[in-house]
Amino acid sequence: MEDKLDFSLPEKKKSASSAWLAVLLLLIAVALGAGNLFVALRGPSQTAGTGSQDFSAEKTRQLATKLAQRNLYLPAAKVWQDYLASGELTDDQRAQALFQVATMLKKAGRYEEAIENFYRSEMTSKIDDLASAINVHIKDCFQRLGKFSALRYEMMDRTSLKDSQLAAGNVVAEIGAEKITEAELDAVIEDQIDNQLAPMAAFMTPEQVNQQKERMLAELKSPQTRQQILQMHLAQEILYRQGLEEGLAETDAVKRLLEDLSRQTISQHLISRELADKINITETDLQTYYKANSGDYVEPATVEISHIVSAEKSGAEEIIEKLQDGGDFAGLAKTDSIDEVTKENGGRIDTPVSKGSYVPVIGDNKELNDRIFAAKKGDLLAEPIESDAGWHVVRVDGKTEARQKSFDEVSGEVMTTLSNKKRQDVQQAYIQQLMEKYDVVIHTSAFAPAPTDQPSMPAGHP
């Protein structure tokens, strides 16, 4: 009897260990599937090995250079930062790369970040070829930011043997345990100037703002002026602290005032923003306005005179006769003039006379103004002129013809005039636009003058 072959598989015996193995394999499969899905969602750029992290240091540097050549300064700065993180670099290489980052940020107008990276560059490694360039760039960044006090200390630090920190940290005042340094005083002064320039800054270029700021800082640099500003600042600070201590900030009156100030400040900032968007005065605009209105910028003709004052007309006439006979004007002024202010100076009036205006020392006298402008240099007026001070014998000492002022002389005045005109036009248009937006209605009839009572008519009048 043939034995039949049994092709059936023996039945597996289930065990606890095989069950756990199955679960483990299932979890691995799920994890792999999720990983593949994540890779798929990230896209091919991250899996194809073309990201910046896969660039060599040399290719990263080339990319940064190419972006800079295309004037894409912020992307170039970012790629230079990638280059810094791309591998082992020497300190000199890192300093060079940080210099490039700073340069790109400066070209992009990110001056504060540029200064930080210039500092990082020179602190990483002192490279002679970069030192002078860093000095120039940092100075330019501070100027463009309008931070002239910080620039002063920066220049002291870079050009002086003395440590600028000593100057910046010089204590100029104390409030209890709190110390106020020279650098803090400089910051107070700059803040005050910024506040004064704020209404005009909206329609001035950064260069024009900085020019005005430098001029104002120069006017406030004397020790006496700085001490006065410090005293005013201290007075305001201690009054403020005392007011807080007395709870004035919580009073209704102060709250109302702060609310009003808040309204004014917000309104001012809004209109300044609108002006900045709508007004851009260029050098060409200023030149054009100056040429169109050159008559407004003429220095008038002037005359320089001397006088001798007599209490009586007859006395003045006698002086004129002596002068016509060759008498010395300065000598007669010292002996015969009753004007104690000018007699010791030979009768000379220091302030020139402008055409059509009052005569210094003598007063508003059209007849005298006309006569001295009609006379020639060296002429003695033939008749004395009367004023409240007495009778004046007048000599013309010098004449200056009217002169057209150059654009450079009056550029600041032209800027003020033109900006005020444009400001008024833009502000009126913007406010009118907002009035329409918020449905503002002014009832002008409410401001009409009250009707007057009509006089009664006589009886029998038709």
Instruction: For residues 72 and 120, state if they share a domain.
Output: yes
159 or 274: which leads in pLDDT: 274
pLDDT in tens, 157-209: 776 544 445 555 688 898 888 788 887 888 888 888 888 887 777 667 777 78
Task: Give residue 418's identity as a one-letter amino acid code.
Answer: L
Instruction: For residues 255 and 343, state if they share a domain.
Output: no
- Strands in 390-400's sheet, in edge-to-edge order, are 353-354, 302-310, 390-400, 385-387
Instruction: For residues 246 and 307, state if they share a domain.
Output: no
Burial 66-93 (b: 16+ CB within 10 A, else e): ebbeeebbeebbbbbbbbbebeebeeeb
Tell me the CA distances in angstroms from 350 to 127, 151, 353, 450, one per residue in order: 61, 42, 9, 56
Token pair belonging to 411: 């550029």
Instruction: For residues 57 and 100, state if they share a domain.
Output: yes
Residue 422: pLDDT band with limits 50, 70, 90? confident
Mean pLDDT for 421-428 is 88
Tell me if 353 sits within 8 A of 369, measured CB to CB. Answer: yes
Domain of residue 239: give its range: 179-266
Q: What DSSP element (H or E) covers 353?
A: strand 353-354
Query: How far, in Å, CA of 373 to CA of 301, rounded?
Result: 9
Place of tokens 């600028």: 164
pLDDT in tens, 103-152: 999 889 899 999 999 999 999 999 988 888 898 888 888 877 877 777 77
Instruction: Establish if 39 belongs to a structural domain.
Output: no
Instruction: For residues 115 and 194, state if they share a domain.
Output: no
Instruction: Establish if 164 belongs to a structural domain.
Output: no
Spatial neighbors of 329 by CB under 8 A, at least 6 apart, are 306, 308, 323, 346, 347, 380, 395
Among 217, 243, 266, the domain-final residue is 266
Mean pLDDT for 58-72 is 87
pLDDT at 458: 55
Among 127, 145, 163, the domain-final residue is 145
Instruction: Establish if 119 belongs to a structural domain.
Output: yes
Instruction: For residues 114 and 60, state if they share a domain.
Output: yes
Residue 281: pLDDT band with limits 50, 70, 90? confident
Tell me if 88 sits within 8 A of 108, measured CB to CB. Answer: no
Instruction: Establish if 329 belongs to a structural domain.
Output: yes
Residue 457: pLDDT band with limits 50, 70, 90? low
The answer to whether residue 286 scores a pLDDT higher than 80 is: yes
Instruction: Establish if 224 belongs to a structural domain.
Output: yes
Instruction: Establish if 74 belongs to a structural domain.
Output: yes
> The domain spanning residue 338 has which CATH number?
3.10.50.40
Other CB atoms closer than 10 Å to residue 327's CB: what's the count? Answer: 13
Instruction: For residues 379 and 320, state if they share a domain.
Output: yes
The answer to whether residue 5 scores a pLDDT higher than 50 is: no
Instruction: For residues 308 and 396, state if they share a domain.
Output: yes
The answer to whether residue 438 scores a pLDDT higher than 80 is: yes
> The domain spanning residue 93 has which CATH number?
1.25.40.10
351 or 150: which leads in pLDDT: 351
Query: How far, in Å, CA of 425 to CA of 188, rounded?
Result: 34
Mean pLDDT for 266-292 is 86
Instruction: Establish if 442 belongs to a structural domain.
Output: no
The answer to whether residue 296 scores a pLDDT higher than 50 is: yes
Instruction: For residues 261 and 308, state if they share a domain.
Output: no
Instruction: Establish if 288 belongs to a structural domain.
Output: no
Write down the mean pLDDT value for the chain: 81
Other CB atoms closer than 10 Å to residue 214's CB: what's the count? Answer: 14
Please report the DSSP string for 138-203 in residue order: HHHHHHHHT-HHHHHHHHHHHH-SS-HHHHHT-EEEEETTEEEEHHHHHHHHHHHHHHHHHHHHTT
pLDDT in tens, 218-252: 888 888 898 999 999 999 989 988 988 898 989 99
Instruction: For residues 306 and 395, state if they share a domain.
Output: yes
Question: Is pTM beyond 0.95 here?
Answer: no
Instruction: For residues 69 and 141, state if they share a domain.
Output: yes
Token pair belonging to 176: 């209890």
pLDDT at 436: 94
Mean pLDDT for 295-310 is 94
Q: Which of 87, 90, 85 is nearest to 101 (CA)?
A: 85
Backbone dihedral angles phi then psi of residue 371, each to the nearest 5 degrees: -70, -40
- Total number of domains constituting the chain: 3
